[in-house]
């Protein structure tokens, strides 16, 4: 795992027939069992190790709510890892309610309009860039009380427009202003 995520990295240690997962700080002074790590780090470690050691090109990874237990910063970092895996040929299907995950995917699509130098200056690399033609977005719109219909959202080189979460954010902001103004 990269330092931006955890301040250390996850290692697999061979112990007889088994591999043990350990967290090692970047000074390599402290070795900790995952049982002692935060839920966030454990969630990320499992996904990243799975991406690194198990999944292969053309495999399908399905993740429901990848943002669960993750700080918004780590949600963005996880999306970068997923983009790298997608660019290596992995098929990824996620469901999310996270505005951060959605906006990060959008940003990775928009990186495709920049030069390599511009991408690097924004702390990304070319492995993080998503081709908009490789992305499909669906919003499950309520049709009736217990019925939802998938609605395909257009994706282009500027990303995609997601009105559902933006509308809620806007309503929340307007409510905050109303409360302050009372």
Give pLDDT tens digits along the chain (182 positions): 445 555 666 666 776 665 666 666 666 666 666 666 677 777 777 787 788 778 889 999 999 999 988 889 889 989 998 999 999 999 999 999 998 999 999 999 999 999 999 999 999 999 999 999 999 999 888 899 889 999 999 999 999 987 777 788 889 899 999 999 99
Paired residues of 15 in beta bridges: 18
pLDDT at 1: 41
Paired residues of 159 in beta bridges: 156
Which domain covers residue 76, as residue numbers?
Answer: 57-181
- Cα–Cα distances in Å, from 90 out to 43, 57, 87, 98, 171? 20, 5, 7, 22, 37
Tokens of 105: 């995917």
Please give the tally of structural domains in the chain.
1
In a domain, 116, yes or no: yes
In a domain, 46, yes or no: no
In a domain, 99, yes or no: yes
Count of C-beta atoms within a 10 Å radius of residue 169: 11
DSSP output for 126-164: GGGPPPGGG--EEEEEEEETTEEEEEEEP-BTTB---HH
In a domain, 175, yes or no: yes
In a domain, 4, yes or no: no
In a domain, 3, yes or no: no
pLDDT at 33: 67
Helix, coil or strand: residue 11: strand
In a domain, 79, yes or no: yes
In a domain, 31, yes or no: no
- Cα–Cα distances in Å, from 30 out to 7, 14, 38, 74, 164? 11, 18, 15, 22, 44
């Amino acid at each position: 795992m990269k330092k931006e995520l955890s301040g250390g990295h996850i290692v697999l240690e061979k112990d007889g027939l088994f591999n043990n997962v350990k967290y090692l700080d970047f000074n390599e002074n402290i070795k900790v069992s995952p049982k002692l790590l935060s839920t966030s780090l454990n969630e990320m470690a499992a996904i990243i190790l799975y991406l690194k050691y198990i999944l292969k090109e053309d495999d399908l990874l399905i993740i429901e709510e990848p943002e669960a237990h993750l700080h918004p910063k780590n949600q963005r970092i996880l999306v970068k890892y997923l983009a790298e895996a997608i660019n290596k040929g992995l098929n990824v299907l996620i469901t999310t309610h996270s505005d951060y995950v959605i906006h990060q995917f959008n940003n990775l699509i928009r990186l495709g309009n920049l030069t390599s130098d511009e991408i690097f200056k924004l702390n990304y690399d070319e492995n993080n860039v998503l081709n908009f033609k490789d992305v499909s977005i669906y919003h499950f719109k309520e049709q009736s009380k217990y019925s939802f219909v998938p609605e395909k959202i257009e994706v282009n080189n500027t990303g995609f427009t997601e009105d559902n979460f933006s509308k809620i954010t806007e309503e929340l902001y307007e409510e905050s202003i109303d409360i302050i103004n009372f």
